[in-house]
Amino acid sequence: MSASSAFNDEKGGSSSVGEPEYGHDPASGGIFSSDYKRHDDLKEMLDSNKDSLKLEAMKRIVAMIARGKNASDLFPAVVKNVACKNIEVKKLVYVYLVRYAEEQQDLALLSISTFQRGLKDPNQLIRASALRVLSSIRVTIIVPIMMLAIKEAASDMSPYVRKTAAHAIPKLYSLDPEQKDQLIEVIEKLLADKTTLVAGSVVMAFEEVCPERIDLIHKNYRKLCNLLIDVEEWGQVVIINMLTRYARTQFLNPNINESLLEEGSGGDKTFYGSDEDEDEDEEEKEKNAEAPAMAKRKPYVMDPDHRLLLRNTKPLLQSRNAAVVMAVAQLYFHLAPKAEVGVIAKALVRLLRSHSEVQYVVLQNVATMTIKRRGMFEPYLKSFYIRSTDPTQIKVLKLEVLTNLANETNISTILREFQTYIKSMDKDFVAATIQAIGRCATNIGEVRDTCLNGLVQLLSNRDELVVAESVVVIKKLLQMQPEKHSDIIKHMAKLTDNIQVPMARASILWLIGEYCEHVPKIAPDVLRKMAKSFTNEEDIVKLQIINLAAKLYLTNSKQTKLLTQYVLNLAKYDQNYDIRDRARFIRQLIVPTEKSGALSKYAKKLFLALKPAPVLESPFKDRDHFQLGSLSHLLNAKAGGYQELPDWPEAAPDPSVRNVEVKDSVPEWTKCSSREKRKEKKVEKPFYSDSEGESGPTESADSESDSASGSESGSGSEESGSGSESVESEEGSESEEEEEDEEEKNKKKKKKELKKPVQESESEQSSEEEERKPERKSKQRKSDSESESDEEESESESSQSESEDSESEAEIKKKKKAAESKPPTKPVKKENKKEKKEMSLLDLDDFEPAPSPQVTPVNTFLSNSLVTDLEGLSLSDTVLSPATIAPSSALKNYELLHRITGEGLSVEYCFSRQPFSPDANMVAVQMQFTNNATSDTKNLHMEDVKLQSGMRVKEFPEIELLPAGETAAAVMGIDFCDSTQAANFQLCTHTKKFFVSIQPPVGELMRPIFLTENEFKKEQGQLMGMNEITEKLTLDAKCRNEHAIVQRVTTAANLSRVPCGSDKECRFAGRTVTSSSLVLVTVATKEEGAAQLTVNCEKMLIGTMLVKDILLALTQ
């Protein structure tokens, strides 16, 4: 250890000596053990057959690298082991390669083939790490190989590999910027990726490679906003910072009206500078030439996407990661309406409890914010009080914030606090405090005198620094209104007797000289005293004495003529040449002689010119033109690669550019435990359907049913920019209302999206299509209970002009639409009838809403065998018996495989709600295959099932032949383990494979059971506390009678009704399919549509999700 320490200091240490610190080096004898010998030893170990020896050698080599020693001569020996089987050796070899490949390019090439092989490995970790190393090897010659590998990995099925590809993009870019165009293509592709894993990395790549291509974000904007909360923390920071910039280019300034109104109201306005406002006005004037006056006060309406961003980032203020909190804070600061910015204050104050480095950065940003938005932090004033244990830099920053926060009301508290700081032992801090007092005094007139007096007292401080600082500050303060403070100047004049600090003496003399008119009697006396002590003064004081003398001579030559001459004479023989020079110069200037030039006429002007009062302002003023939280802001200088925060646009760019993109469902239930998250498994789809082109990624239908996640099939993405008029008009009206309610918004969005493709592809029309459409439509509408009739109306109208091309799309849409609107509409009607019938016939209290007429499903276990039989029948029949399908039409149909994605094959599924006979723990999923292609599809079966632990799948029997244009059905069973995790598998035909996934709504994870009223009450009594979830709701207008409620609840969840004495209450019971946990639902109605929903369930998670689903069903 001791021997080595000498060498540790060798910076950059070229192939230097031993590594005795690291372990048991046999050759660690000392300085004289030669490199050769030691490295030979390592080489030998690397060449051996034993993995343990290799590992040992590699560990030692990596330790050398870690310590900054050169190990490059081992390259050939190491690179041989790149294909080693032992995973740890391999990893260490990778580490070595990445470090030295740049230096030994030729040798590094030897390893490339290994990585290329690794890229094809079935193990995703190996694929990813091969790509990581390959892209980290900075060898220009392999750029094409890297490019290829990145492209390939960008469409890899594993999101982890795609993430790695995103990471590789900036690496390649820095190696060869020529590749930019190709890389942008990859970025564009990856931006469309819907996994949270990839999002952060690809945005980072975007920021490094093509931050100027803001247009790439449009289509992904909403998705990014929605995914944000589930992206890992680091990705969140990058995405939020990027979106801040994006929003600045796309939305209007939310404070525009305020800044117009506020004209001249000082600080707050500065940022949105007046010229900008003018521009805005002009712009608008051009637009509305006839009503220019109106334009100015045009009400501002926030773009819903702007709102979306603000809303989705807000929860992140609660992140544990300071960087995320800061990112959200800056986003709010730069983008939010003034009234809403306040929310960030609390979170920022919280960060002040963190590590001192975090405090440092946060305080810098808070300091900038307090200048513009003081009110925001005022309630937290005390959080910025300084502790004696704070590091100086933190103290100074807190002081800055306190000063910025000072106003008339709190100044006395702040000054009291400042007093104690002046007593601190930390002199830099004391100096800063004095300056802060000075600034408070300039800003707040009321306390100027108080501060001045306090500062004057400080002049007697023993510490030179304190005095100097005080004098400087007093000087500045006095300059502001000298006439009022002649008494202070007098007081200071007296101080010259006591104060010894030269700087202070000099400052006082300057003050007296400058304001000698205010102290006409004292000034000559001071000069007299000074003249006496002139020879003993310090140089700076002497210079000021000369100045004072000169000024007095000019104003009061009668009294001071002799004194001045005396002083100048003394100075003439001073040891210091500066003083001698000054004396000579001043004598020539002020004492009129024959020789004296023209200048002496101006002497008065020269010496007694009005000097402007120094401005005491915060160093943080105007720093906010840098994006807060950025490095550039911190340094107050533009750092390399900094992207300017653009000014708000004068007119909002077309918001429809963002429309195309799927507004994907947000969150994972791990965070919000809502059903929304189910959809996330679908995300990989677009990758397996490259050729989609215009028609865009296809969302499977079931995600549409989720109302919280407005979604759309992204068709016609390219043309979207030129959105047709009707869309625009719709949007106009929409944006005004939109702010209020998320759900409402989503609904609308969906509606809008539905229309879109319709309008876009109004080309060739197939009359046949045309006829079929309205017909079906009207049929549906008839059954509608008129709830959404006007919406439907407009849609059906537009759909009449639909082209064949978009037919299937529209069909899906319609189904989606149907699925959406069904609960309250069609099935309701249908089931209503059934119920009535059942009631009258059997007088059963628990009318079971399971929609299959074939099964009498009251007690599902009993009917198992029957169902099996029936299923057997339907399956054996390749031509589908309509009877089997019919019942499911009442159920929601979900799309498993879209026609275009499936290249002609489309698959839909529904949860048939029948017991799955081979395994009672499984949920039966009925699938319907349609072959829309021109050729037959053979050997339709499933493969490669990927499930969460515990889940099981019973595959459907292979369909050997599905002729063109035919349809077939099959049933499969899935044990979801009572979770809403998706079951992923591949659907294979004889030629193709499609990745698909099935994700159940929570309501399908249960089967109905029969309970009596008493049993129900008893069970409910046992499921209290945390197992009970209660929500208040207002029933939808169409859903105020008992039947409608029953319909809606049973559509949302596979439950059976429990008889109940009161007609104010509807009760339902079921058990989860896998664990047979009881699920009890009660809907108690009150007056005016008010109702209370209670769910009791052993499984909390299920309960929570179910509540949300039922709530949705009942309120819409």
Partner 1 sequence: MIHSLFLINHSGDIFLEKHWKSVISRSVCDYFFEAREKAVDPENVPPVLQTPHHYLISIYRGKLFFLSVIQTEVAPLFVIEFLHRVADTIQDYFGECSEGIIKDNIVTVYELLEEMLDNGFPLATESNVLKEMIRPPTILRSVVNTLTGSSNVGDTLPTGQLSNVPWRRAGVKYTNNEAYFDVIEEIDAILDKSGTTVFAEIQGVIEACVRLTGMPDLTLSFMNPRLLDDVSFHPCVRFKRWESERVLSFIPPDGNFTLMNYHVSSQNLVAIPVYVKQSISFFETGPCGRLDITIGPKQTMGKTVENMMVTIHMPKAVLNANLTATQGTYTYDLTTKVLVWDIGKLNPQKLPNLRGSLSTQVGVPKPEDNPSLNIDLKIQQLAISGLKVSRLDMYGEKYKPFKGVKYLTKAGKFQVKMLCTAHFSTNWRSEYI
Binding positions for partner 1, 73-112, rule CB under 8 A:
86-89, 91-92, 95, 99, 102
Q: Does 319 bind partner 1 (CB under 8 A)?
A: yes
706: nearest Cα among 1109, 1035, 1034, 1116: 1109
Q: Which of residues 367-406 bind partner 1 (CB under 8 A)?
A: 382-383, 385, 387-389, 391-393
Angstrom distance (rounded) from CA 1087 to CA 1108: 22
CB of 35 to partner 1, least distance (A): 20
CB of 136 to partner 1, least distance (A): 7
Q: Does 458 bind partner 1 (CB under 8 A)?
A: yes
Q: Which of residues 862-921 bind partner 1 (CB under 8 A)?
A: none
CB of 1062 to partner 1, least distance (A): 28
Angstrom distance (rounded) from CA 624 to CA 373: 11
CB of 364 to partner 1, least distance (A): 9
**Chain centroid to CA 192:** 17
Sole binder of partner 1 in the list 155, 182, 249, 450 (CB under 8 A): 450
Size of the site for partner 1 (CB under 8 A): 133
* 3-state secondary structure (DSSP) of residue 714: coil
Q: Which of residues 940-999 bind partner 1 (CB under 8 A)?
A: 949
Q: How many CB atoms lie within 10 A of CB 523?
A: 26
Q: Which of residues 107-136 bind partner 1 (CB under 8 A)?
A: 123-125, 128, 132, 135-136
Q: Does 159 bind partner 1 (CB under 8 A)?
A: yes
Q: Which of residues 56-75 bind partner 1 (CB under 8 A)?
A: 59, 62-63, 65-68
Nearer to partner 1, 186 or 327 (CB): 327
- Helices (DSSP H) in 625-724: which residue ranges? 631-635, 669-672, 701-705
Q: Does 512 bind partner 1 (CB under 8 A)?
A: no
As given in the structure block, the two tokens for residue 353 are 């409890």
Please say whether the beta carbons of 961 and 1034 come within 8 A.
no
Angstrom distance (rounded) from CA 119 to CA 420: 66
Q: Does 199 bind partner 1 (CB under 8 A)?
A: no
Angstrom distance (rounded) from CA 893 to CA 887: 11
Torsion of CA 554, 560, 562, 568, to 10 degrees: -60
As given in the structure block, the two tokens for residue 665 are 């469902």
Q: Which of residues 655-714 bind partner 1 (CB under 8 A)?
A: 667-674, 677, 680
Sole window of 447-455, 531-539, 809-817, 1035-1043 interacting with partner 1 (rule: CB under 8 A): 447-455
Please state the φ and ψ torsions of residue 59, each to the nearest 5 degrees: -60, -40
Q: How many CB atoms lie within 10 A of CB 34?
A: 11
CB of 832 to partner 1, least distance (A): 33
Q: Does 419 bind partner 1 (CB under 8 A)?
A: yes
CB of 386 to partner 1, least distance (A): 9
Per-residue buried b or exposed e for 585-617, using 16+ beta carbons within 10 Å of the residue's own CB: ebbebbbeeeeeeeebeebeeebbeeeeeeebe
In eight-state DSSP terms, residue 937 is E
Q: Which of residues 821-860 bind partner 1 (CB under 8 A)?
A: none
Mask 627-646, x = binds partner 1 (CB under 8 A)?
--xxxx-xx-x-xxxxx---
Sole binder of partner 1 in the list 81, 111, 164, 926 (CB under 8 A): 164
**Residue 173, C-beta contacts closer than 8 angstroms, at least 6 positions apart:** 179, 180, 183, 208, 209
Mask 218-257, x = binds partner 1 (CB under 8 A)?
-----------xx-xxx--x---x----------------
Please say whether the beta carbons of 647 and 514 come within 8 A.
no
Sole binder of partner 1 in the list 57, 225, 341, 415 (CB under 8 A): 415
**Chain centroid to CA 444:** 39
Start-to-end Cα distance in the chain = 75
CB of 390 to partner 1, least distance (A): 9
Angstrom distance (rounded) from CA 564 to CA 591: 10
Q: Does 167 bind partner 1 (CB under 8 A)?
A: yes
Q: Does 532 bind partner 1 (CB under 8 A)?
A: no
Nearer to partner 1, 746 or 821 (CB): 746
Q: Does 187 bind partner 1 (CB under 8 A)?
A: no
* 3-state secondary structure (DSSP) of residue 959: strand
As given in the structure block, the two tokens for residue 297 are 């006060």
Nearer to partner 1, 99 or 747 (CB): 99
Sole binder of partner 1 in the list 51, 654, 739, 903 (CB under 8 A): 51
Please say whether the beta carbons of 972 and 997 come within 8 A.
no
Nearer to partner 1, 522 or 1101 (CB): 1101
Angstrom distance (rounded) from CA 889 to CA 779: 14
Q: Does 424 bind partner 1 (CB under 8 A)?
A: yes
Q: Does 140 bind partner 1 (CB under 8 A)?
A: no
Angstrom distance (rounded) from CA 330 to CA 309: 13
Please say whether the beta carbons of 1057 and 1068 come within 8 A.
yes
Sole binder of partner 1 in the list 73, 449, 622, 966 (CB under 8 A): 449
Strand ranges, E, within 613-683: none
Nearer to partner 1, 422 or 828 (CB): 422
Q: Which of residues 341-360 bind partner 1 (CB under 8 A)?
A: 346-347, 349-350, 353, 355-358, 360
Q: Which of residues 1076-1105 bind partner 1 (CB under 8 A)?
A: 1099-1101, 1104
